Amino acid sequence: MSEVLKKLSEPFDKRVESHLNKGGTTLTYIKVSEVISRLNDVLGVDGWSLVVKECRRDAVTPDWIIAHVTLTTIIDGAVVHKDGFGGQEVKYMKNGNPVDLGNEFKGAVSDATKKAAQSLGVGLYLARVGVSKEDWANFRSVADSLTEEQRTKLSEFWTEHSGGQEKPTEGTATMEDLIALSDEAVRLSFNATVVEDDEESS
């Protein structure tokens, strides 16, 4: 591995790691601002570029914003292009209007940017972290409460999400796998999340 890739792949300081509870599991992630700072520090401010190829509401599932970006840089004299695909679920107020659609587009691009940078090693170690017995048990408690139809949909989701890979087990699942499955299991269990419109209820 080149020195540049080693520097990009270095773990972040624990003080800049953020934590989020999703679907009964705790996700450790790095904010996009820290990812950009790492790219600037290692590659130089003018040493990389990002192009947003696409950012739109999904045609099949319009409750999601999907983004496609391409990160370009030069490593060891070779031009490198890395694509990243990200998504952000649209949050709605009680009256059915989006809370902040612009922020959801921004979130989708940020997610895609982190995925592209991850292809260069930035924050990749977080995706490889195994899951604890407690995290797996929390996921199983949600999954086991689903109906047979919902479990079928969960399996279909995983097949599409993973590109046809076998469903992970407690021994093989990464935190990234578990977060994706837990989010979908919770979504299936509750069907949808509604955000209250404080202005209208006041």
Tell me the β-bridge partners of 83.
70
Q: Could you list the pLDDT tens digit for every one of the 202 residues in the chain? A: 689 999 999 999 989 888 777 655 667 888 999 999 999 999 999 999 999 999 998 877 788 888 999 999 999 999 999 998 888 889 999 998 899 999 999 999 998 999 899 889 999 888 766 666 777 887 888 888 888 988 998 998 888 877 778 888 877 777 777 777 877 887 787 664 334 444 444 3
Nearest to 91 by CA among 11, 195, 183, 189: 195
pTM over 0.75: no
φ/ψ (deg, to 5) at 98: -60, 145
| Count of C-beta atoms within a 10 Å radius of residue 101 | 14
pLDDT at 177: 79
The CA distance from 86 to 27, in Å, is 17
Q: How far is CA 100 from CA 57, 65, 89, 96, in A?
A: 14, 12, 11, 12
Residue recorded with tokens 């989708």? 108
DSSP-derived 3-state class of residue 153: helix
